[in-house]
Amino acid sequence: MSKESCHHCAPSIKNKPAPEPSLRVQFWGSLLCTVPVAWLAMKNHLGHGAIQWGLTSVSLFGFGGPIWKKAWVSVKALKPNMFTLIAVGLLSAYGLSVWLFFHSDASGFMGFYFEGATMLLSMVLLGQVLEAKAGDNTQQALDQLTELIPSKARLVVEGSPDQEIAVEAIQLGNHLRVLPGTQIPVDGRIVDGASAVDESWMTGESQPIEKKVGDFVLAGTLNQLGSFVFVAEKTGTQTLLAHVIDWVAELQAQKVPIQKLVDRISAVFTPLVFVFAAITGLVWWIFGSEPGNPLQAIVPAISVLMVACPCALGLATPIAILVGTARAARSGILFRNLESVQIFEKIDTIVFDKTGTLTQGRPQVVSSQLLDKNLDTRVVWRQVASLERASEHPLASAVLDAAGNQGISQLDAVENFRSFPGLGITGSVGGQTLLIGNPAFLKDQGIATEEVLSRARSLEDQGQTVLWVAIEKRCVFLIGVQDQIRPEAPSMIRAFKHRGLKLLLASGDQPSVTQKIATQLEISEWEGGLLPHQKAETIRRLQSQGRTVCFLGDGINDAPALTQADLGIAMGTGTDIARQSASITLIKGNLSALFNAFELSRLMMRNIRQNLFWAFSYNLVGIPLAAGAFYPIWGLKLTPVFSSMAMTISSLLVVGNSLRLRFQKFRNAE
């Protein structure tokens, strides 16, 4: 269908203005004309024809501008759509009524059809207003996010007073001061001061979060108590808030696969209606009760045109998607492509990453063992922290926090840093080569690990993840890190098991640690010690068994698995590359949103099917009824007036059914 087809009636959310006030004015103007025309039509008096003609002309040609414009575009493009049908139906009913005005007399007067034309226009305009309002609900979610971005920021200039600059002028590395009660302009890390920050737009938590030196702060969050200085690390379109706004905006331009099928059906349906209307008129012309009577042939043909407008069919999918994605955005769920909505309800297997996904992603160092008595513990900690500072792995933060707790604040420069996802990191610190990772990584680098395996295993038996540290080709330090299971994880796991889904835990962590977490969460299948490509292979193996697989992860090493899965879901608190590889992002980083996303996709697809069922059923019954197919049996047929009412009411029912998504509750995750 063309761009002006029914499912494009509501403006796109990207660059979408608020619903035009003129559209509402045109609806009310048309309605004010329709009421007296309908009242006079009930009087069925020939003398009222001039008044009906005048009011209908004002309604159609004074307030029907949006419909005529869209119809004209479809005619120029040679792609007939619902607006083509509406325009032809309006002109046919109007033209027939004008002809009757000049060719009727008191004795043979059967009534006009002016009320059918103006009633159809009023109903169509009402549908347009409701569509625009439904789209505006999604736009409001974007507007609320956009309003979080302040217009000004305070630039810290050494030796001079702070300067007020536009947010657009902020550059990476700028030091910015945030005063109490003001919003943070860009993403960055605190370098001086402390405060409590309201991050409710991102986390969903109403309680402010304590922030200190070294903590990351997000654009759009609200500083509540103290003042602090932070260094800008992500500006403009790179901030998390900007990504959220872009993702929601781009979503509205997409279509689910089921909508593409509807488009193909509608593209064929419109010209077929014209053919069927012509056949209807011809049949009544030849076989009607008064063969050769043009009026007897024209009225049912017009009724077919007016009842067959595929408004409901075109609205069935996009309105449900529009309302559903707005509901999702408010719930912290971002569908980055609409195909994921349709795929999610077909998922029968979910594969979970562990760290930062089922666990809180804020592991803590709970033990450490220096294996070489000749080394200084503080020196080794400083070297390890210096190397980990360049890493994005969740365990790096735990190491840096542990070093900070020991009073190590001055870190060394790192040279030749390299990251091996799923294995470890290397680099040169103070002229010495360091390796930090798992035992397999150290073995690959030719470093002996056998002598310390027993020590490492004792830590792993306690549920700790062990980081092996080698300096100059010798394993000299073990660090035990432990992460806590997210409090909402057990109920979420039970909910999916209750739905009959197959669950699997796939982690790059040690098998013993992975098994312990799987046991605690009652996940029967698990795989530990996996490299990034091995996670993807696990998913590929499940797919080869005919499974439809969803993968939930948050780190760089999860990107291959997120891409391989039928549906990739990223935690919003994870890395950028993980979010870019996923089809859905849980922006609040809350596992409850995963179950809500599953439920919402199910509700959206059920709503779409209900809409399509109603639209197809309506046309299946309405077109033959308007054509007079049931007249010889039961004496039933539709006049253009009732045809126009039936067509528009069907569209309003579809819109109303979709709006229910705003209020439907998710099932309890328990």
* Half-sphere exposure (Cβ direction) of 383: Cα atoms closer than 13 Å: 23
Between 232 and 95, the higher pLDDT residue: 232
Neighbours of 200 (CB within 10 A): 15
Residue 648 is inside which H or E element, if any? Answer: helix 640-659
Residue 265 is inside which H or E element, if any? Answer: helix 257-287
Answer yes or no: are the C-beta atoms of 351 and 561 closer than 8 Å: yes
pLDDT of residue 141: 52
CA angle 62, 65, 70 (to 5 degrees): 160
Measured CA distances, 237 to 149, 207, 580 (Å): 12, 27, 14
pLDDT of residue 433: 93
Neighbours of 210 (CB within 10 A): 12
- SS3 state at 658: helix
pLDDT-derived band at 502, boundaries 50, 70, 90: very high
The type of residue at 267 is: A
Average the pLDDT over each of 149-153, 229-233, 578-582 and give the range with the smallest value.
Answer: 578-582
Integer Cα distance of 614 and 607 in angstroms: 11
Helix axes 294-307, 640-659, angle to 10 degrees: 0
Q: What is the mean pLDDT of residues 509-535?
A: 86
Q: What is the mean pLDDT of residues 136-164?
A: 75
Q: What is the mean pLDDT of residues 92-119?
A: 74
Q: What is the mean pLDDT of residues 115-141?
A: 67
Rounded to two decimals, what is the model's pTM? 0.56
pLDDT of residue 640: 65
pLDDT digits 0-9 by tens, 217-229:
888 888 887 789 9
Is pLDDT of 352 > 80?
yes
Residue 443, both tokens: 């073995």
pLDDT of residue 4: 38
Return the residue matching tokens 């209020």. 663
Integer Cα distance of 405 and 214 in angstroms: 13
pLDDT of residue 6: 37
Integer Cα distance of 621 and 625 in angstroms: 6
User: Phi then psi for 191, rounded to 5 degrees?
Assistant: -120, -10
pLDDT of residue 137: 47
Is pLDDT of 110 > 90?
no
pLDDT of residue 249: 59
- In the chain, where are the structural domains located? 6-144+248-327+601-662, 152-239, 333-354+488-586, 364-482
Is pLDDT of 201 > 60?
no
In 374-501, alpha helices (H): 377-388, 394-405, 439-444, 453-460, 489-498
Instruction: Provide the β-strand partners of residue 229.
Output: 177, 192
Is pLDDT of 513 > 90?
no
Query: pLDDT exceeding 90 applies to what percent of the chain?
Result: 21
pLDDT of residue 310: 61
pLDDT of residue 205: 46
CATH topology of domain 364-482: Calcium-transporting ATPase, cytoplasmic domain N (3.40.1110)
pLDDT digits 0-9 by tens, 594-612:
888 888 888 888 888 888 8
Is pLDDT of 670 > 50?
no
pLDDT of residue 80: 73
Integer Cα distance of 431 and 155 in angstroms: 37
Of 14-18, 362-366, 589-593, 617-621, which has the strongest mean pLDDT?
Answer: 362-366
**136, 353, 558, 566: which one is catalytic?**
353
pLDDT-derived band at 548, boundaries 50, 70, 90: very high
Average the pLDDT over each of 424-438, 490-504, 506-520 and give the range with the smallest value.
Answer: 506-520
pLDDT digits 0-9 by tens, 262-301:
666 666 777 888 888 889 888 888 887 777 777 778 878 8
Establish whether 353 is a catalytic residue. yes
User: Phi then psi for 373, rounded to 5 degrees?
Assistant: -65, -15
Is pLDDT of 13 > 70?
no
What is 152-239's CATH number?
2.70.150.10
- Burial profile 140-178: b = 16 or more Cβ within 10 angstroms, e = fewer: ebbeebeebbbeebbbbeeeeeeeebebeebeeebbbbb
Neighbours of 229 (CB within 10 A): 17
The type of residue at 224 is: Q
User: Phi then psi for 469, rounded to 5 degrees?
Assistant: -115, 125
| Torsion region of 500: left, alpha or beta (phi above 0 gives left; psi -120 to 50 gives alpha) | left
Average the pLDDT over each of 463-477, 499-513, 610-624, 630-644 and give the range with the smallest value.
Answer: 630-644
Neighbours of 330 (CB within 10 A): 14
Instruction: Provide the β-strand partners of residue 584.
Output: 335, 569
Is pLDDT of 139 > 60?
no
Measured distance between the N- and C-terminal CA atoms of the chain, rounded to whole angstroms: 44
pLDDT of residue 576: 55
Integer Cα distance of 599 and 664 in angstroms: 10
pLDDT of residue 425: 92
pLDDT of residue 184: 92
Answer yes or no: are the C-beta atoms of 199 and 145 closer than 8 Å: no
Residues 6+ apart with CB under 8 A from 564: 536, 539, 540, 543, 551
Strand order of the β-sheet with 222-223 is 209-211, 195-198, 222-223
Between 490 and 255, the higher pLDDT residue: 490
Q: What is the mean pLDDT of residues 236-249?
A: 72
Integer Cα distance of 469 and 55 in angstroms: 87
pLDDT of residue 18: 43
Q: What is the mean pLDDT of the chain?
A: 79
Closest CA to 474 of 432, 423, 510: 432
Q: What is the mean pLDDT of residues 303-316?
A: 69
What is 333-354+488-586's CATH number?
3.40.50.1000
Taking the mean position of all CA atoms in its chain, how far away is CA 45?
55
pLDDT of residue 73: 87
Integer Cα distance of 200 and 216 in angstroms: 15
Residue 321 is inside which H or E element, if any? Answer: helix 311-330
Residue 144 is inside which H or E element, if any? Answer: helix 114-146
Using a 10 angstrom Cβ sphere, with 0-12 exposed, 13-18 middle and 19 or more buried, the burial of residue 286 is: exposed
pLDDT of residue 7: 34
pLDDT of residue 142: 58
pLDDT of residue 595: 86
Q: What is the mean pLDDT of residues 75-104?
A: 79
pLDDT-derived band at 382, boundaries 50, 70, 90: very high
Is pLDDT of 244 > 90?
no
Is pLDDT of 452 > 80?
yes
Is pLDDT of 175 > 80?
yes
Q: What is the mean pLDDT of residues 350-370?
A: 85
Helix axes 377-388, 394-405, angle to 10 degrees: 140
Is pLDDT of 528 > 90?
no
Integer Cα distance of 12 and 136 in angstroms: 10
Residues, the chain = 670
pLDDT-derived band at 490, boundaries 50, 70, 90: very high
Strand order of the β-sheet with 567-571 is 333-335, 584-586, 567-571, 549-553, 349-352, 502-506, 525-527
pLDDT of residue 585: 76
Q: What is the mean pLDDT of residues 146-166?
A: 86
Average the pLDDT over each of 121-125, 209-213, 219-223, 416-420 and give the range with the smallest value.
Answer: 121-125
Q: What is the mean pLDDT of residues 188-199?
A: 87
Closest CA to 552 of 398, 397, 349, 394: 349
pLDDT digits 0-9 by tens, 361-380:
677 898 999 998 889 999 99
- SS3 state at 210: strand
